Amino acid sequence: MPQESRLPKVLEHARTTEGVAFELRKDPMGVLEMPGLKNVLIGIHVGAPAKLACRRDGRRYSGTAVHGDIDIIPADTPSRWEMQDENDTTLLLSLPQTLLRTVANESALDTARMEIRNQFQIRDTELEALCWAMKREMESGYQSGRYFLDGLALAVASRVVARHSSVAKLMEERSEGLGGRRLKQVLSFIEDQLAEELSLEQIAAVAGVSASHLNTLFRISMGVPVHQYLIRRRVERAKTLLMQDGLSMAEIALAAGFAHQSHMARHMRRVLGVPPRAMKRLLAEASASR
């Protein structure tokens, strides 16, 4: 049984004019009791896979959270979390119910009956993309200004109401994509092997499909082909390693799965718009200004 955990480490935090709070946090191994809050909580897992268990709303959940997995906790819902390793890093959003009701009203939805659905480790590519934009903005020191973050928060609230509430229009599940369990297995495998030379055939074997079929299924489920997803995850892994002291650029490149330093620089410049050394300076400046 895990011991009571230490307090989480807050890496970044912010608040919008609408009262939406953002927090990038790392929870240590152990147990965390969370009271029911007045706001709706959205948590998106960041980085390496983390083994978790959670009890809330009379149900017990357990599973390995992989990069991009999303939890939605309705207001006034206490929860008990068990972190079974040190990998639980989460971008946590706190959404006021007044904002959600305003969004629903403007969409001509019945707010009197609206309830936000309790969700554990789901996938939502649109919500995920909005959260990654928030994370980048936080890490860059909010270079785009207050209105940019306000707009992202409003977009998140709109997506939650439209897709994850009791008044949302039911959307047909796309059976042609990778199923939830198979997708999680594939994403977990990619995270575990990110530093290695991964082939499409290896990933397809985990999914139990042919290599040619995998790319089609993966694009439907994640919105991008496998190779683009791999590059993005390696860039993000390299970005995380840039914040650590004592590692050379060559060591970071290899640890993130790039063939060499210039290979990493080329992809980082394409994905993030700046080369590794410039990104390292930006991250250091943003950290020093807080």
pLDDT of residue 108: 78
Q: Residue 111 has which token pair? A: 């707010």
**What is the domain-level CATH number for residue 68?**
2.60.120.10
Q: Tens digit of pLDDT for each residue in 146-199?
A: 889 899 999 999 999 999 998 876 444 444 678 778 888 899 999 999 999 999
28 located within any domain: yes
pLDDT of residue 223: 84
How far is residue 289's CA from residue 185's CA, in Å, rounded to a whole number?
39
pLDDT of residue 170: 46
Q: Residue 184 has which token pair? A: 């999680």
pLDDT of residue 290: 61
In terms of C-beta distances under 8 Å and separation of at least 24 residues, what long-range contacts does 21-25 make, across chains too?
21/93, 21/94, 22/91, 22/92, 22/93, 22/94, 22/134, 22/138, 22/149, 22/153, 23/91, 23/92, 23/93, 23/94, 24/89, 24/90, 24/91, 24/92, 24/135, 24/138, 25/89, 25/90, 25/92
**What is the domain-level CATH number for residue 282?**
1.10.10.60
2 located within any domain: no
Region for 268 from its dihedrals, namely left if φ exceeds 0, alpha if ψ lies in -120 to 50, beta otherwise: alpha
pLDDT of residue 272: 87
- My answer on whether 134 and 39 are in the same domain is yes
171 located within any domain: no
Q: For residue 270, give its domain range.
A: 180-288
pLDDT of residue 1: 38
Reduced DSSP (H G I as helix, E B as strand, rest coil) percent helix, strand, coil of the chain, to 5: 45, 20, 35
pLDDT of residue 169: 62
pLDDT of residue 2: 43
- My answer on whether 143 and 256 are in the same domain is no
pLDDT of residue 138: 83
Q: How many domains is the chain built from?
A: 2
The answer, yes or no, to whether residue 4 has pLDDT greater than 60, is: no
Which range has highest mean pLDDT (129-143, 175-189, 275-289)? Answer: 129-143
Q: Tens digit of pLDDT for each residue in 81-117?
A: 999 999 899 999 999 999 999 988 887 777 878 899 9
Residue in the structure block whose two tokens are 């369990």: 181
Mean pLDDT of 1-8: 58
pLDDT of residue 147: 86
Q: Which of 100, 134, 163 is the last residue of a domain?
A: 163
- My answer on whether 139 and 242 are in the same domain is no
- My answer on whether 63 and 116 are in the same domain is yes
Q: Tens digit of pLDDT for each residue in 52-80?
A: 999 999 999 999 999 999 999 999 999 99
